[in-house]
Structures are given as C-alpha cells and as structure tokens.
Amino acid sequence: MVFDHISDFQVAWLNKIINGTVKQGAGKLYQKKKKWYFAIPITWNVESTQDEKIMGIDLGLRYLAVARSHFKTHIYTR
C-alpha cells in the first residue's frame, strides 16, 4: 500500500482511534480526480458547558470545513 502523504494531524487522530479516545464510524473508500481516499468519521465526548449552544463541524471531502450553528452555515475552502 502506498500513501502520498500522511500528516502529523492525521496520525494524531488515528492514534486516538487506536487508543480508544475517539469512536470510529464506518469508513468510506472513494476516488476523486484519479486519487483514492479513505474517509473515517469519528465522534468523541466533550465536557458540557452551561451554554446550550450547539455547533456541528464537518472536516470535509468537498470543502476544507463546514460549520453550522443556529441556522447559520460557514463554508471554508482551501
């Protein structure tokens, strides 16, 4: 198996999956522009705050990140 590049950021998250700090979902293998990718969704618990605001962030396949909070969406591109 050949990897073009695995960043320190990716290695850190893979280590969290291995040591059980985060929970791994079902991975998806896909091809985009003649390159193959493997996307792994992860979830983890965070400490609750007194604030009831919730934000979802998708570190994406099509966009660098998409954040949604209180009916407002922010899309970050490369």
Predicted confidence pLDDT, tens digits, the chain (78 residues): 556 677 888 888 889 999 998 998 888 888 888 888 888 888 888 777 776 666 666 666 666 777 777 677 767 766
Output Rg (C-alpha) for the chain, integer angstroms: 15
pTM (two decimals): 0.51
Domain ranges of the chain: 8-44+52-76
Encoding tokens for residue 64?
């660098």
Phi, psi of 5 (to 5 degrees): -165, 130
Encoding tokens for residue 22?
């985060």
